[in-house]
Amino acid sequence: MKAIFKREIKSYFKSPIGYIFLAAFMFFASLMFVFINLSAQTASMSGFFQNISMIFVFVIPVLTMRTMSEERKSKTDQLLLTAPVKITDIVLGKFFAAASVLLIGFLAILSYIFILKLYGNPAVAEIMVGFLGLFLMGLLYVAIGIFMSSITESQVIAAVSTFGVLFFIWFLGLIGLSFSSVLTGALSWLGKALDWILGFISVNQRFYDFTVGTLNFVPVFYFVSLTALFIFLSIQVVEKRRFK
């Protein structure tokens, strides 16, 4: 896994992908920070965290689109699949490499805390909880992106499909659908079931506790378990190709 990790990290910065991702992420995050915090002269970053998740929908597909699909298109995946390397190590190496690039961007925007200290007295502990939740959300999106990349050899299709999935689960938290208010009477059970499913899929609802500085076990478990699920699914997809 260490060799795969080093190889992937180098590839991010030997190509424009890593730089494009970091530049786009930091630019839009900084723009949001200026408008939400500095312009409003507020030391609370709750509004910042509630809106910044939208950025991930657009930039994460750029980060993950080549992770698996490029290997298939260039046929270098055959070398990896026939090498004495576990499929789990291959997928995890790629995941941790993408997560490391994401972490670089996070370390850069942590400087916002020091900027806020110049203008007020920010609640650092609450802000750090928000950053933790945002990073966990980012890891989930990376895992989804790697899975989408594993099922196609086209980087464009991988990016577009990842964007579609991320936009769908992000948008669900905004539209406020309530099936239980429509499906009543004998179908009330179905309305409640659909509301639960939508609530489970919507990452924004799980992310809300982090935005207000509350650290709860349930949303942490939600992000970690779903991230592990998509990593597992990616491993299964690659494993099937090894035995074809």
What is d(CA 168, CA 230) in angstroms, rounded to the nearest whole number? 16
Rg (CA), the chain: 20
Q: pLDDT by residue (tens digit) across 104-138?
A: 999 998 888 888 888 778 888 888 999 999 999 99
Query: What pLDDT score was predicted for residue 218?
Result: 85
75: left (phi over 0), alpha (psi -120 to 50) or beta: left
Q: pLDDT by residue (tens digit) across 198-243?
A: 666 678 778 888 888 888 888 899 999 999 999 999 988 888 766 5
Q: pLDDT by residue (tens digit) across 182-203?
A: 556 665 656 566 666 666 667 8
**pLDDT band (50, 70, 90) for residue 75:** low
* Closest to 201 in 3D by CA, of 243, 181, 180, 229: 229
Query: What pLDDT score was predicted for residue 140?
Result: 95
Q: Are the C-beta atoms of 234 and 146 separated by less than 8 Å?
A: yes
Query: By CB neighbour count within 10 A (0-12 exposed, 13-18 middle, 19+ buried), where does 136 fall?
Result: buried
The model carries a pTM of: 0.87
* Domain regions of the chain by residue span: 2-242
Looking at every residue in the chain, the average pLDDT score rounds to 83
What is d(CA 167, CA 205) in angstroms, rounded to the nearest whole number? 14
Determine phi and psi for 85, rounding to 5 degrees.
-125, 135
